[in-house]
Structure 1
Amino acid sequence: MGFRYKTSQRKMYMKEETLDVVCRRVNALRSLRNHQEEGRQMVYVNETWFTTWMHHRKEWVDTTQPNTSATFSRQVHPGEGERFVVEAGGTHEGFIDESFLCYPAKNKTRDYHGEMNSSLFIRWLTSQLLPVLTEPSVVVLDNIPYHSQLTKETRCPTTGTRKVKIVKWLECHSLPFPPHATYSELLLICKENRHEPRYTVDEIIRSWGHEVIQLPPTHPELNAIR
C-alpha cells in the first residue's frame, strides 16, 4: 500500500507507556489467559452513568410523515434530566442480575468516579456480587483508586505525608534513622523498606474463595464488560 516503517520526524504529543505499565499489562493478559484455559469463570466489574433523558443528536425518522406527526420522531425533553450511577458485574453469559446497583448522582459533571468511594464499593462487593457467585471465579477490576486502596499493613508514607507521621511510621516498623535526618532522607528510608503492596479489595475477594486481576492503567479495552 506504499507504507514504510521508519522513524517519525514529527513531534508526538502522546504519553508513552512506562515499563511498569507495560509489565502490568503483560502480566494481566497472561493471568487472564491462564485462568481462561483452566476453565475459571471470569467476572468483569465496571460502573457507568446515564441520565433519564439520554438521547442521540441524530436518529432514523419517517420522512413520509409530516413534522407535526407523532410518528415523525420521538419527543425528547429539554436538558439531560436526573443522572444515575450504575455498578454491575458480568460473565460470558451476560450481566449478573443480582449485582446491579443504581443510585442518583449528586454532582452534575460526567465524571461518575467521584460518586463512588471505597466503602460504598466494598459494601456492594460483599452484599451483592460475591454472595451470588456460585463457583470459584476470577474478578477483573479496572485500575481505579477505590479498587486499589492499600491495606493498612502495606501503606507507606508518600511525598504528601507530614514529617511527624513519617517518623511515627519508621518507629512503628522499628526502622533506625539518623536523629537529624531531613525529610527527603526519611522518605528514602521508607521507600527502601516498604512492603509489597496488597489491596483491601483483593484481600476481600480472595477471602471469599475467588481470584482477582487488577488491570493496568489506561487500558479500559481489556475490560470485557465495556
Structure 2
Amino acid sequence: MTVLDTTVKHDRMSEKGNVLFLILIAVALFAALSYAVTQSTRSGGGDASKETNLVNAAGITQYPASVKTAITRMVVSNATDPDSLLFNPPSTFSAFTTTYPATNGVFHPTGGGATYADAPASVMQSNGAGTWHFNGENQVTNIGTSGALSTSNADVIAFLSGVKKAVCDSIHTKLGIPLTYATLTGIDVSSDMNVADPNIDAGGGTIASTELTGQPQGCFQQPANNYVYYHVLVER
C-alpha cells in the first residue's frame, strides 16, 4: 500500500512538472507572437507612411502639370504671350481690365480655365493649407535659354514653399534626383504674376545647384530647413 501511494505521488509530481513545462512553452510562444505582431505593425506603419508620402508627392507634381497644360493651350490656341499670363485667383477676377483681360487669366474660364487650388495640409510642414505662387522672376540653370537672368530668359515657375522634407524626398526619388537640397538665396518664391504685378520682371535669382541643373522641377532650401518645391511652367 505504501509503495502504491509513493508511486501515485511521484506520478502526480511528474504531471505537475509537465503542466508547468507546457505553461512555460505557451508563455514563450505568446511572447514571441506578440513581438512578431509588434514588429509587423511597426513595419506596416512605415510602409503606410511611405505610401502616403508617395501619394502626396504625386499630387504636388500633378497640380502644376495641369496648370502648365492650360498655359500651353493658351499659347498654342490663343497665341497668348507668356509675358502676358495672369495668375489671378477667382477671388480677384474682378481686377481684370481691358489692358489686362480675363482671356490672359490662367485660372479664368475665358482664359486657361485651370483649376485654382491650395496645396493640401498633408504636404506642408505647418500642417496647414499651402499657397502656390506663380511668377516670372527667376530661371533654372540649363532650362530654356542660359545666361544672366533677364526679362528675356526668366522662366515662368510655380513655387510651393514650406513643403515637408519627406515629400521632397519622394519627389526626388521619383525623378531620379539625389536627395540633397542646396540652400539658395535670392529666389523669389512668393511673388505672383497678376493684374497687380503683371509681366515677367526677372527680379529674383537663378536656381543653380548640381542636382537641379537642367531639372524642370525639384526641391531646394530657402532658407535652411525650409523646403521649396518648384515646377517650370514656361521655359524661356
TM-score with structure 1 setting the length: 0.23
Q: Please tell me whether Structure 1 or Structure 2 has the larger radius of gyration of its CA atoms.
A: 2
Higher share in helix: 2
Q: Which has the higher contact order (CA 8 A, sep 6+)?
A: 1
